[in-house]
Amino acid sequence: MSSETPFQINIPDEKLSILRAKLELATFPDELEDIGWNHGPPLADMKRLTERWRNGYNWRKYEKELNQELPMFTRDIGVDGFGALNIHYVHKKSKTVDAIPLLFCHGWPGSFLEIRGMLSLLTASSPEHPSFHVVALSLPGFGFSEGAHKPGFALDQYAEVAHKLMIALGYNEYVTQGGDWGFLITRRMASKYGGKHHKAWHTNFPMADPPSWKSPLSFLSFLLTPWSAEEKAGLERTAWYRTKSSGYFVEQSTFPQTLAYGFTDSPVALLGWFYEKLVIWTDDHKWTDDEALTWISIYWFSRAGPGAAHRIYSEVHGDFYNLGRTSYPTIPMGASYFPKELLLLPSAWLRRLNNVVIESHHKSGGHFAAYERPEELVEDVRKMFAKGGPAFAIVPGRSGYA
């Protein structure tokens, strides 16, 4: 593994000119009367966002903000069978020497941007709460990380990259936090590297299989215990996702290359695909146009191209719904539940087969909890590793306190 290289985002002027030229040529479909969001992003929203992206949105302004705000680096990480991949990551150390090394792992359609609201909170030093050294990588094929160049780059490989990055940074023992694909990746890390290196993990996307007849007592309890109001609402949200909002999953996990042609050639296609998710997967988050366009621009300008990131669905598809057929991690786990998450299953299902040491249930927040509710998520993580918390001093010599 190579040494790290400081990184600054600097999109070539030529790419900005090509983007504007493509937006100039945008052609829009018609729209059914009074259809609202029932068929996807409204035509008026798409026209407004396209015009803003073309004329008014200042990428250089936000590029500068990111460069000033986030300490970014790249380094080569060797992946067994795939050679070395150049990985982009944010790395900010706390002033507290004994801060806890924490890896933040995003998912799709997220990116390293999701750490922005949490970074200063997690690294803050105080006698009242633990502090963390934070690493937030761009997953291979996302953001400014190099993508895999051949098939077979699956969950083990994503976990290998993240683990080797922490080792390369000198963090031989660490904890993790993640949602969406970050849940599955850090879960695999907990299974492969748990105990010796990976000491504890926290997620805001807690998934678990329901009890089955193979565990008679758990299954009987499952049949006889009535749902709480929160559990009913969660199962209704899960049913909504599966029937109304999961079509993307099928296409991305079967023929991602088909989508890649549209995403790579048409910024409007990319905009529509992503903006839909940003709006309906959050808990009434008030996206400004520039905020949404910055999020989507990270994909448009990504190193591997806007058609690369969603390949993770095809490569890792078998692991997504395969939770009950693999061993469960034994290291301490924390879970946060937000009411507008996509899959909201009874917390008892998670506790049944995982070493859940702390869980939190929130009144608001959606799929992008790190971005929508950074204060609440940071507080959950702090409680897990705080003095008196269930995972206090889980990393030897790194209590998180001065």
Q: What percent of the chain has pLDDT over 70?
A: 96
Angle between helices 289-300 and 43-54 (to 10 degrees): 70
CB 285 within 8 A of CB 372: yes
What pLDDT, in 10s, does the model give residues 28-56?
999 999 999 999 999 999 999 999 999 99
Peptide linkage before 109 cis (omega within 30 of 0): yes
| Mean pLDDT of the 258-282 span | 98
CA distance 28 to 386: 53
Q: Could you tell me the pTM of the whole model?
A: 0.95
Q: Is pLDDT of 24 > 90?
A: yes
User: Across the beta sheet with 198-203, what order do the strands follow?
Assistant: 5-7, 72-79, 83-92, 132-137, 100-105, 174-178, 198-203, 333-337, 356-361
Does 323 score more than 60 pLDDT? no
> Please, what is the average pLDDT of the chain?
95
Q: Determine the Cα–Cα distance for residues 101 and 48; give it in Å rounded to an integer.
A: 42
Least confident of 74-88, 128-142, 152-166, 315-329: 315-329
Question: pLDDT at position 177, please?
Answer: 98
Q: Poorest-confidence range of 46-55, 314-323, 363-372?
A: 314-323
Question: In terms of Cα–Cα distance, which of 348, 349, 333 is closest to 384?
Answer: 333
Alpha carbon 136 to its chain's center: 10
Instruction: Note the pLDDT of residue 257.
Output: 96
Is pLDDT of 123 > 80?
yes
- Asked whether the predicted pLDDT for residue 325 surpasses 60, the reply is no
Residue 322 has pLDDT above 70, yes or no: no
Asked if pLDDT for residue 269 goes beyond 60, the answer is yes
Give the three-class secondary structure for 370: helix
397: left (phi over 0), alpha (psi -120 to 50) or beta: left
Please state the length of the chain. Answer: 402
- Backbone φ and ψ of 35, nearest 5°: -85, -20
Q: Tell me phi and psi for residue 195, to 5 degrees.
A: 95, -70
Mean pLDDT of 338-343: 97
Residue 124, pLDDT above cutoff 60 = yes
Does 213 have pLDDT greater than 80?
A: no
pLDDT of residue 29: 97
Report the distance separating Cα 125 and Cα 387, nearest Å.
Answer: 14
Catalytic residues: 180, 313, 367
Residue 333 · residue 310 · CB < 8 Å:
no
Q: What is the pLDDT of residues 379-389, one digit of tens each?
A: 999 999 999 99
Decide if 134 contacts 122 (C-beta within 8 A): yes
Query: Which residues have a Cβ under 8 Å from the Cβ of 242 and sit 6 or more positions away?
Result: none
- Report residue 45 as tokens: 């929203």
CA 11 from chain centre, in angstroms, equals: 23
| pLDDT of res. 353 | 76
CA-CA-CA-CA torsion sign (107, 113, 114, 118)? positive
